[in-house]
Structure 1
Amino acid sequence: MARLTREQSQARTKEKLLASAYEVMARYGYAGASIERIAEEAGYSKGAFYSNFANKEDIFLQLLAGNAGGDVVQLTELLGKCDDPMDLIDVLATWANNRGDDRKWGMLAIELLRMAQHDHTLGDRHIKLFRDQWEGVGKILIDKLDLVMQPPASPFYIGGIVLELTYGGISSFLKDGAPGDMVRVVLRDMYRSSRATTPGVPAKA
């Protein structure tokens, strides 16, 4: 078996540390997760951790960035295959239910942001992470559903509504399928309202 290059070995180490961080933080919460435990469960030393990440906040922000960017890529692929608006909304609702089943992301993100705000370290890196994700998803939906938005509606708000229903809030603790049902209701109403404000374009039932 060919030996890994230095770059390949470092990439594998980083990948294993990220996977360990997610599991440890999901188990103990952001505050309860320690760098020592993250490194140990990945099979590395603290030195290996600090060779790849500045601190615990850095590794978690990279985890969130990977998850957020993955959502945009995944939805671009999933929704790109849909031409019928109602089919698209149903596909998105199913996606929201599948993603909403993993409630750890939403709770961990809220915990991190609350701690950053409390410690006065909340900055552009935190906000940009969610802004890029929300705007990316919102642009996909506005384009695919051909929505005509009235201020203050924007890609940022549209994507934020869908992702908040998917990952956060009380919907995560309701019956199975609640996030998708809420997404379906909101987007169908948005679509019909948009069609009603566009002369000559009927809304699909």
Structure 2
Amino acid sequence: MPRGTTKRRPRTTAALLGAALEVFAERGFHAATIEQICERAGYTRGAFYSNFKTKEELFFALFDAHSERVVTSLKALVEEVGSDAPALGRFAELLSRIEPGERAWYLVSTEFTLYAIRHPEAARVLAEHDARLRAEISRLLVDVLHRAGRSVDVDPDQLARLLVAMREGGLAQSYVEPDRLPPGELERRFLPTLLLGVSTERGGDT
């Protein structure tokens, strides 16, 4: 049987991913070691290297898993908001809900972004993964506006970048001052106005 095709492999990979998220969040990407991740997962270094070549590769596996959850969640939100003007407010309200587990991913992804800024090759790969996620977000933003009877007047990719900036910038402030800015508050208050400002009613002049 070829290497990596055993029935245990998905379970091993999942355990390593879960352990990596915890260890990266606790110790930081740079400080975390493969040994610590393996110990947390209950596997050997051999199990690690049968699944991943480096810590960077492990991070990008975490990134893709998180992206898949984000896209699945956004698709569900778009289906839930309905097909009228208040849909934008409903979408913002749903999008503003931040799961408690999001804090760990925020810590890990933010630190890796700083690492990537200092390492051009890591930045290149991160940009590729970001672009794939952003393409999905762009399509969903166009869809939710379409359901609200509106057309997008700006580059959807740029709109997705702005939404990501709002999300990540807002979370940074919320995690520092949770009593002053609850997580998701910026999206809830300002996203409907933003979406109205970058779109026009289909068939109308405004």
- Asked if these proteins are the same fold (TM beyond 0.5), I'd say yes
Instruction: Note if contact 1:165-1:179 (Cα within 8 Å) is conserved in structure 2.
Output: no
Instruction: Note if contact 1:93-1:179 (Cα within 8 Å) is conserved in structure 2.
Output: no
Counterparts of 1:181 and 1:163, CA distance in 2: 14
Q: Deviations over 1:150-170 (max 9, x none)?
A: 3xx322222222233333442
Counterparts of 1:118 and 1:195, CA distance in 2: 37
Counterparts of 1:33 and 1:190, CA distance in 2: 39
Q: 1:172 to 1:149 in 2, by over 3 A?
A: farther
How far the C-alpha of 1:52 sits from its partner, in A, is 0.3
Q: Does 1:19 align with 2:18?
A: yes
Aligned Cα RMSD in Å?
2.7
SS of the aligned residue for 1:52 comes to coil
How far the C-alpha of 1:140 sits from its partner, in A, is 0.7
Counterparts of 2:194 and 2:17, CA distance in 1: 38
Could you say which residue in structure 2 is the equivalent of 1:121? Answer: 121
How far the C-alpha of 1:37 sits from its partner, in A, is 0.5
Counterparts of 1:101 and 1:174, CA distance in 2: 18
Q: 1:179 to 1:137 in 2, by over 3 A?
A: farther
Q: Deviations over 1:20-52 (max 9, x none)?
A: 000111111111211000001111111110000
Counterparts of 1:35 and 1:105, CA distance in 2: 18
Counterparts of 1:88 and 1:99, CA distance in 2: 21
Q: Does 1:37 align with 2:40?
A: no
Q: Does 1:200 align with 2:204?
A: yes
Matches within 5 A, 1:59-98: 59-83=58-82, 84-98=84-98
Q: Deviations over 1:71-91 (max 9, x none)?
A: 011111222122144345334
Q: Does 1:186 align with 2:160?
A: no
Q: Could you tell me which runs of 5 or more consecutive residues in structure 1 were left unpaired when the two chains were aligned.
A: 1-5
Could you say which residue in structure 1 is the equivalent of 2:55? Answer: 56
Q: Could you tell me which runs of 5 or more consecutive residues in structure 2 were left unpaired when the two chains were aligned.
A: none
Counterparts of 1:139 and 1:113, CA distance in 2: 24
Counterparts of 1:111 and 1:30, CA distance in 2: 7
Q: Does 1:170 align with 2:162?
A: no
SS of the aligned residue for 1:68 comes to helix
How far the C-alpha of 1:133 sits from its partner, in A, is 1.5
Q: Deviations over 1:164-188 (max 9, x none)?
A: 3333442443446644331134332
Q: 1:72 to 1:139 in 2, by over 3 A?
A: same
Q: Which amino acid aligns with 1:17?
A: L
Return the structure number with greater helix share: 1
- Tell which deviates more after alignment, 85-94 or 111-120: 85-94
State the number of aligned residues: 196
How far the C-alpha of 1:197 sits from its partner, in A, is 6.6
SS of the aligned residue for 2:204 comes to coil
How far the C-alpha of 1:103 sits from its partner, in A, is 2.3
How far the C-alpha of 1:139 sits from its partner, in A, is 1.6
Q: Deviations over 1:110-158 (max 9, x none)?
A: 22122233233234321121122222112212221134333xx322222
State the TM-score, normalizing by the size of structure 1.
0.80
How far the C-alpha of 1:196 sits from its partner, in A, is 5.3
